[in-house]
Amino acid sequence: MSTQILSLLANAAIETGYMVLIALSIGTLLGGPLGVMLATSGRGELFEARVFNRVVGGIVNATRSIPFIILAVAIIPFTRMVAGTSIGTSAAIVPLTVAATPFIARIIEGAVRGVDSGLIEAAQAMGAKPLQIVFKVLLPEALPAIVLGLTLTTVLLIGYSAMVGAVGGGGLGDLGIRYGYQRFRPDIMAAVVIVLIVVVQLIQTAGDRLARRLNKRVR
């Protein structure tokens, strides 16, 4: 394999990593609190706000029901507003983040809901304030599940990032489409696929290991 292809691959991998990491970070920053609020605003829960719960839950579901490729195209005006352009790797971060946020919100919600309600009761009995319950009890107890969920999100975003090539984003997916498919270079296509498989495998393994180390429930 020529050094030219290798440098193409390396560049594309860096672009993918850049898109996925930024989208994951912003998505977690936005989706994390949203998920905690979804998990704690139901009837009789810590921050009961049922209207909020319904509305946000509805928006989250709506966003998640749109196929990513359509979402990416549909929000091009928004992307242009945020990123100043709708073309390029940086611009592609916008639709990726928009897709990641509700996904992460549901992941965090599920993880937080998985915490035994007896622990909330015990914390209340100790005189914990609601925010203390979130930060001292719910999030630490949910951490292993959150790590697994974010691993899943990362893998999902790598897949999505391949699609943003369609709206002018870069990365491994774009490389595979433009060189591998449109220029009939099966060697490049194969290289892209192999790199993706290895990367996803590494991420999943690392996530699993971290979650297991954090999980003190079973030994």
Partner 1 sequence: MIRLEGLEKIYGGGRGGVTHHALKGIDLSIDKGEIFGIIGRSGAGKSTLIRTINRLEDVTGGRVFVDGVDIATLSNAELTIFRRSVGMVFQHFNLLSSRTVYGNVALPLELAKVPKDEIAKRVQPMLELVGLTDKSDRYPSELSGGQKQRVGIARALVAEPKVLLCDEVTSALDPETTQQILDLLRDINRRMSLTMVVITHEMSVVRDLCDRVAVIDDGLIVESGNVFDVFVKPAHPTTQALIANEIEASLPKSLRRIIHDGPGGPGENPVVKIVFTGPNAYDPIISQLSRTAGIDFNILAGQVDYIQNRPFGILFVEAKGGIDEAEKAIAFVQSRNLKAEVIGYVDPDSVPAG
CA distances from 5 to 2, 124, 175, 188 (A): 5, 60, 10, 7
User: Based on CB atoms, which residue is closest to partner 1, 11 or 215?
Assistant: 215
Q: Does 140 bind partner 1 (CB under 8 A)?
A: yes
Nearer to partner 1, 51 or 125 (CB): 125
**Residue of 52, 54, 78, 129 interacting with partner 1 (CB under 8 A):** 129
Say whether residue 50 binds partner 1 (CB under 8 A).
Answer: no
137 binds partner 1 (CB under 8 A): yes
Q: Should residue 11 be labelled a site residue for partner 1 when binding is judged by CB under 8 A?
A: no
Q: Which of 64, 136, 178, 185 binds partner 1 (CB under 8 A)?
A: 136
Positions 53 through 82 that interact with partner 1 (CB under 8 A): none
# binding residues, partner 1 (CB under 8 A) = 24
Q: Does 113 bind partner 1 (CB under 8 A)?
A: no
Is 131 a binder of partner 1 (CB under 8 A)? Answer: no
- Please identify, using beta-carbon distances, which residue of 20 and 137 lies nearer to partner 1: 137
Pick from 13, 49, 69, 143: which binds partner 1 (CB under 8 A)?
143
Q: Which are the contacts of 7, defined by CB distance < 8 A and separation ≥ 6?
A: none
**150 touches partner 1 (CB under 8 A):** no
Residue 132 Cβ vs partner 1, minimum distance, rounded to whole Å: 5
Q: Which parts of this chain interact with partner 1 (CB under 8 A)? A: 116, 118-119, 121-129, 132, 136-137, 140-141, 143, 214-219
